[in-house]
Amino acid sequence: MVTGPTGGYELFYWPSIQGRGEFIRLALEAAGAPYADVARLPATKGGGTKALTAILEGAGGGLPHFALPILRHGSVVLSQSAAILHYLGPKLGLVPDDEPSRLAANQLQLTIADFAVEAHDTHHPIGSSLYYEDQKPESARRSELFLKSRMPKFLNYFERVIEANTAGGGWHAVGSKLSYVDLSLFQMMCGLGYAFPKALARFSPKVPRVVDLRARVAAEPAVAAYLASPRRIPFNEHGLFRHYPELDP
User: Which positions lie near its own copies, rule CB under 8 A?
Assistant: 58, 62-67, 75-76, 78-80, 82-83, 86-87, 100, 103-104, 106-108, 110-111, 113-114, 117, 121, 125-127, 129-130, 138, 141-142, 145-146, 149-150, 153-154, 157, 160-161, 164-165
Measured from the CB of residue 66, what is the shortest distance to its own copies in angstroms? Answer: 5
Measured from the CB of residue 217, what is the shortest distance to its own copies in angstroms? Answer: 20
- Judge if the upstream peptide bond of residue 249 is cis by omega within 30 degrees of 0: no
Measured from the CB of residue 31, what is the shortest distance to its own copies in angstroms? Answer: 19
Measured from the CB of residue 53, what is the shortest distance to its own copies in angstroms? Answer: 15
Residue 138 or 220: the one with the smaller Cβ distance to its own copies is 138
The residues that bridge with 11 in the sheet, in sequence order, are 37, 71
Residue 31 or 78: the one with the smaller Cβ distance to its own copies is 78
Residue 39 or 84: the one with the smaller Cβ distance to its own copies is 84
Are the CB atoms for 196 and 247 separated by under 8 Å?
A: yes
Residue 87 or 171: the one with the smaller Cβ distance to its own copies is 87
Are the CB atoms for 24 and 70 separated by under 8 Å?
A: no
Measured from the CB of residue 235, what is the shortest distance to its own copies in angstroms? Answer: 23
- Which among 194, 202, 206, 185 is positioned nearest to 122, based on CA atoms? 194
Residue 77 or 233: the one with the smaller Cβ distance to its own copies is 77
Residue 35 or 146: the one with the smaller Cβ distance to its own copies is 146
Burial of 143 (0-12, 13-18, 19+ CB in 10 A): buried
